[in-house]
Structures are given as C-alpha cells and as structure tokens.
Structure 1
Amino acid sequence: MVDLSSVRLGFVGLGNIAHLHCDRLESAGLDQVIAGGVDVDADARAAFADAYDAAVYEDPTELYETVDAVLVTTPNKYHEEYVVDALGAGLDVFVEKPLAHTLESAERIADAAADADGFCMVGFHKRFANPVQALRGYEADGTLGEVSHVEADYIRRRGVPGRGSWFTRESVAGGGSLIDIGAHAIDLSLYLLGYPDVVEVSGETRAQFGTDEDYAYVTMWGEDQGPEEFSVDDSASAFVRCADGSTVTLEVAWATNRPNSQQYYVRGDEGGAGLDLSDGSLTLYETSTTGAMHHRTTEIETRDEEAHGIEQRAFVEAVASGEPPETNTVEQALTVQRVMDAIYRSSEAGEAVQLS
C-alpha cells in the first residue's frame, strides 16, 4: 500500500475554496499532507496558517520548493498562471473546475500539461459520488444497454454566489452559472456517456435576475453588493450532439422560478436511471417480459460518503504512487470548456455551433 502520509501538498489561493479542501482532507484523515500555501493577501495567509498550522508564502516559487504537488484554488482567471508555473516546476497539480476562464487559456494549460513531467487533475468531484459510481457500474455491465441521452439539471431557485464577488465578474470568472455549476453538469453528462466527441452545440444564456436591483433571495453564499458588478449569465439552456449519436439536454441556473434540482436522467435501450445528487438517490427503470410484461423500478442505496474527500484521496494516491490518474483529465476538462464556449457563442449568434 502506498504511504500517503509522505505527500506534501501546497495550496495556491487561500480563500474559501482552499479551506473547503483542507477541511475535507482533515475529514478524510489526510490532514498530515497539508504542508503550506501561497496567497497575495496577507490576511488570507494568516487565516490559513492559523487554521491548518501550515507554512505560508507570498511568493509561489518558495512554496514550490517545499511540496510535491499543489492544489490551485484561485479565481478562474489565474488558473493558467499558477498551473503552468507549477507544472514547469515539476509538480503534480490539482486545479479546481473550470480549467480556465476562457477557452484560449484552457488550451494553453492543456499544452503545458502535455509537455510536463507531472500530471494535472481537474476538480470535477461529482463523478466520485457513490451513486454516480454505482450508475457507471450498471452502465458497464449492460443493465442500461446502449445509452443515448442524458437530461441534466443543475438549478438553484436563488443561488447567485454573491453579486459583486469575482464569481459574477466576467473578466475574472469568464462566465456565470454556466461556468460555475454548468461545468459540473456538462462534465457529469459526458462522463455518463463515456466522453464521446462533441460535434454540435446549441444554447441560450440569460441574465434575468442577477441584474435586477430588486433581486429577492433568502440566502446568499457571499455578500450582496448589488447588480453593478454582475456581468455574467444567471441561467443557460443547451442541447449537445455527439459524434456517436448520443445527446445531452442541459438546464443550469443560479436563479430561476422553479425548485432546486441536481437531477440527471440517463436513457438507454435496455433500461434507464434517475440520479439525484441533492439527496444521493439513484433509481433504475426497466421494462421486462418475464412472466408478463411489466415495469421494474429499483431504488439503489449507497454509502453516504463525501465526494470531495474521495476525489482528494484519489489525487493524493496518484501523487504518492507517481501514476497519473485515469480520471478527471485535462483533455476531458478541455472538452467541457469547448462546450461552454460553444454555448456562449451559440447564444450570441442565435444558431448552433459546430465543433468538429
């Protein structure tokens, strides 16, 4: 068994996302791997050092000399700078989704990763949820037959992360709901389809609520600074066509007048499945002629484990073993980036966008 305790992890960007990752590492019994962090903000450095008893730096090169791998948890605009530098320093890298704030920046990261000695893993943690892995198992054993379509919803009734934060500024985030939570929905949909080549995308993005002076909400993740710094989308709808004939329908929203949803329906010619990541439920739908024609609906129960923790253990194990992970690759993240970029372009042009 690989000794995980010998791995030394550094964090680039010491805000809320870094703290979330460290808390998950501690919950997974991997707190000993937290070695240090870097941030341009002195208060962020002090808070991180106090919370995790870790060395902190203002200069990333000092951090790179003391660790085996880094987790890049900065705002999207700065992913490229730190991922490319860390890979150039010979380190393994975990970067939060999306790969970058623009397609061009994501492509430069992919080029750097292809030439690097270390590997780069991208943070699509929802793949690691036990219901998702159970569903993948049923796909693999033929229970669903040939899977041809995924319906994906990632919707918040009111869930803008914080108007005026970097999440709502296009220059830093690259987009809004589509970049933030839509990236997860696109990745998981393509993952459940086996990541086929995407050939055509049609979509529409909207900014209906975040720009409203009278935006009404019950809770907000960050501080509400009003609509002035809201320059991104708050919902998106899309249709994705793949080279093998499979398709995805996508509904994403930070805010809309309907219930919250993290539901995925996977349709195959032998069976189907309903996956709800808001409560971890998985349901199989089958029809049979055994005895008499009938429907069979099966509720699947899995262990309640935190997907972030499973993902982080997979990264630490890959660093310790020196073997790049086979999942959450830069190539897959680049496909997600291309789909998001195509949805924005389709919305602006009012027509479908061809990808290949």
Structure 2
Amino acid sequence: MTRDRTDVRTGIVGLGNIGQYHAERLLDLGVELVGGMDVADDARRSFARRYGVDVYDDHDELYDDVDAVIVTTPNRFHEEYAVDAFDRDLHVLLEKPLAHDLESAERIAAAAAASDATCMVGFNNRFSNAVRIVRNRIQRGDLGRVTHLEANYVRRRGVPGRGSWFTRRAIAGGGALIDLGVHAIDLALYLLEYPDVLEVAGVTRSEFGPRENYAYLEMWGEDAGPEGFDVDDSASAFVRCAGNRSISLEVAWATNRPSNHEFVVHGTEAAARFDLLENDLTIHAAGTGGSDHLEDTTVTTRQNDTHSDEQRAFFDAIVAGRDVGESVEHALAVQRIIDAIYRSSDAERTVSLTDE
C-alpha cells in the first residue's frame, strides 16, 4: 500500500514548457519522477538532460513503469493518453481543458468513471489563497446568497505564438475561450457550487490574430503571422443557471483596453472582488449600525504557488485512497458551456442546455 507521496512513481506526457513546469514542482514535493514521453526529439533530449530520467517516444513504455501520469500535451491528444492511462488504472492529473471538443471530453469522462484511478483536471486557480478565502466566506454565509459572478480574464496583448498549436483550431479546439475561458468558467461555477446551467448566450471574435499588422511588444513562441491563426482571440458570454444565478464572462488574448483579471462575487449580504493573478481581495458590504454606512475591507494574504498546491492535493488523494471530488464532472460541465458559447456565436442566438 502506498504510504506517502514519495512512493507514487510518476511520469509526464508532454515535455514542453508546462511539462517542465510540473516536473519542477514534482521534485519540490518529493514525488519520484520516473520519466517522460513526447513525440518531439528535441523535447525528449532537453527533458532527459535536465532531469536525468528515461524518456520515450511512445507512452506505452512509460506507462509500464509508473503509478501516475501528468498529461500536458496539446488539447487534441488528451484523450489518447488519458484514456489509455485509465484503462490501466493509472492516476491522472490532466491539464485543462478536458479536451479539444465536447465529444472527446465525454469519452475521457466515461473512461475516468470506469476506472479505479484518481483523476484531477488542472483547474489550479481553485487553489489560490484569495479564492480559498472567498469560498470560505461563502460557505460560512458572510456573503449571503451568491447570485452573480463577473469573470474577467483579459489580456491587452497576449496572443500565443501565431502558428503554435494554441492558435490552430484543429489541435487546440479554439482560442482564447478554450485557453483562458476554461479557467474563468470553472472558477465562477466553483464559487457558485456548480449549479445546473440552463442557457448560454455568447459571441466569439477573431479581431487581432488575423492581422498582418498585429501590434505587440512580446509573444510566446515564434510569430508565423496571420496564416498561423484560425481561432478566436476574445469572447463575451452570459450564462444563466438554475435559481436565477448567473455568470458574465469576458475573456481575451488581445483587446484595445488594459488587462483585467478581476472576479466579482455578488452576494445578498456582501460582495467579494479579487484579482485572479495578483491575489488582491476586497470584501464590500453595507450596514445600518450606528449610521448607514458602506464597508470596504481589504484582505491581505500571501501569494501561493497554485500548481504546487494542486499537485499536493492530487498526490494526497492518491495516498489516502480517495477521490478529489467531482473534478472530471466539473471539467465536462465547463466543456459543455464552451461548446455552447461557440454554437451560440455561430448561430447568433441563445443556446439552451436543458434539453441536452
């Protein structure tokens, strides 16, 4: 029986930047990094040189030697590696989103449900200290009934390298909506305690990535120009949930406005406003004691490494022999909303999810 995290032999599938990011945190946690797999020679050589472990161009060999895997491949390939792991009852930490499209996500969810393995989807922002405090305030009733979430994840100029897999629909499944929106939607639903979603109205746009004269100061990866870009670079949506609760969503890789990572949690007794990246948190309320007044309380907490805390929760669940909650079910609900936003934009109408 596994006694602690150091006994969980772990491999990484997808050895690019995010794979190495996870590898560093595995080592910090004391988890045994057994090896890695990638189809790219350069990625394998770099990973082997940096971490001194075996690397493979086929995941079968890696899976023969591990108890758990972290899958960080481009979205389109999540299904292949996750489903094969579940078939072997290997534990899986799967980077967000669940998949590149809804059908693939449903197959992953079915395989996870049929497996005895633990599965966590990489919604690392849930582990932010600011989010933890807000969730605690909600659960103890300080905010009253939470009725609405404003969710913003907006960059002024932040299109990933045009021509990378991020900007190609066939591999990523979408652009800013599926890259950034997946985090914003999950966090909003998480703080609402994942109510049933009734309908979605959304618009996706591609206004900056296709430009020959796209003005930017820096870009992740090489810039292949507009021919390497066929996805959305922003999206706006409204999500109506059961009990007249709602979410307004604004996400973008590029806009002509300052960046905005603000979330506002509207409650009947108070509201909470926090910055997703900066950890700033303010509680807004009003009262009549002594005299009518408004209260704005700044809450100070430390900035934490959300990926490290996410990994810790994943491996602690494996060691304890318990699941990590409804991680896969929640990820599938997020994928359904993303799919509905794309369909709503294409059809120029609201999409109902109650008949699906």
| Matched positions, count | 353
The answer for the alignment partner of 1:343 in structure 2 is 341
Contact 2:175 2:233 in 1 (8 A): yes
Amino acid at match of 1:17: I
The change in CA–CA distance for 1:164 and 1:31 in structure 2 (over 3 A counts) is farther
* Separation in 2, partners of 1:157, 1:225: 20
Amino acid at match of 2:116: D
TM-score with structure 1 setting the length: 0.97
The answer for the alignment partner of 1:246 in structure 2 is 245
* Separation in 2, partners of 1:23, 1:115: 31
* Separation in 1, partners of 2:321, 2:50: 29
Pairing of 1:231-270 with structure 2 (within 5 A): 231-270=230-269
Helix, strand or coil: the match of 1:21? helix
The answer for the alignment partner of 2:51 in structure 1 is 52
The answer for the alignment partner of 2:194 in structure 1 is 195
Contact 1:75 1:173 in 2 (8 A): yes
Helix, strand or coil: the match of 1:244? helix
Distance apart, 1:3 and its partner CA = 1.6
More displaced stretch, 314-323 vs 70-79: 314-323
TM-score with structure 2 setting the length: 0.97
Amino acid at match of 2:70: L
Say yes or no: does 1:82 pair with 2:81: yes
* Separation in 2, partners of 1:319, 1:291: 52
The answer for the alignment partner of 1:10 in structure 2 is 11
Contact 1:122 1:333 in 2 (8 A): yes
Contact 2:118 2:317 in 1 (8 A): no
* Separation in 2, partners of 1:292, 1:7: 59
Contact 2:163 2:223 in 1 (8 A): yes
The answer for the alignment partner of 1:299 in structure 2 is 298
Contact 1:93 1:120 in 2 (8 A): yes
Distance apart, 1:256 and its partner CA = 0.3
The answer for the alignment partner of 1:167 in structure 2 is 166
More displaced stretch, 310-319 vs 205-214: 310-319
* Separation in 1, partners of 2:125, 2:98: 16
* Separation in 2, partners of 1:133, 1:279: 14
Helix, strand or coil: the match of 2:224? coil
* Separation in 1, partners of 2:3, 2:255: 47
Pairing of 1:127-276 with structure 2 (within 5 A): 127-276=126-275
Contact 1:69 1:319 in 2 (8 A): no
Distance apart, 1:119 and its partner CA = 2.3
Query: Deviation string for 1:227-251 (max 9, x for gaps)?
Result: 1020100000000000121000000
* Separation in 2, partners of 1:241, 1:54: 48
Helix, strand or coil: the match of 2:243? coil
* Separation in 1, partners of 2:196, 2:119: 21
* Separation in 1, partners of 2:288, 2:32: 54
The answer for the alignment partner of 1:355 in structure 2 is 353
Helix, strand or coil: the match of 1:299? strand
Contact 1:13 1:73 in 2 (8 A): yes
The answer for the alignment partner of 1:102 in structure 2 is 101
Query: Deviation string for 1:270-291 (max 9, x for gaps)?
Result: 0001011221111000111111
Contact 2:284 2:295 in 1 (8 A): yes
* Separation in 1, partners of 2:10, 2:245: 39
Unaligned segments of structure 1, at least 5 residues: none
Helix, strand or coil: the match of 2:266? strand
Distance apart, 1:179 and its partner CA = 0.3
Helix, strand or coil: the match of 2:337? helix
* Separation in 2, partners of 1:59, 1:304: 38
* Separation in 1, partners of 2:22, 2:170: 25
Helix, strand or coil: the match of 1:224? coil
Contact 1:2 1:317 in 2 (8 A): no
Amino acid at match of 1:342: A
Contact 1:261 1:278 in 2 (8 A): no
The answer for the alignment partner of 2:69 in structure 1 is 70
* Separation in 2, partners of 1:152, 1:144: 17
Distance apart, 1:322 and its partner CA = 2.1
Pairing of 1:314-325 with structure 2 (within 5 A): 314-325=313-324
Query: Deviation string for 1:95-117 (max 9, x for gaps)?
Result: 11000000000001111111111
Helix, strand or coil: the match of 1:295? strand
Distance apart, 1:136 and its partner CA = 0.3
Amino acid at match of 1:330: V
* Separation in 1, partners of 2:179, 2:55: 28
Contact 1:238 1:249 in 2 (8 A): yes
Distance apart, 1:32 and its partner CA = 4.1
Q: Which runs of 4+ in 1 moved over 4 A?
A: none
The answer for the alignment partner of 1:330 in structure 2 is 328
Amino acid at match of 2:10: L
Distance apart, 1:354 and its partner CA = 0.2
The answer for the alignment partner of 1:308 in structure 2 is 307
Amino acid at match of 1:341: D
Query: Deviation string for 1:290-310 (max 9, x for gaps)?
Result: 111111111111122111110
Helix, strand or coil: the match of 1:181? helix
Distance apart, 1:31 and its partner CA = 4.6
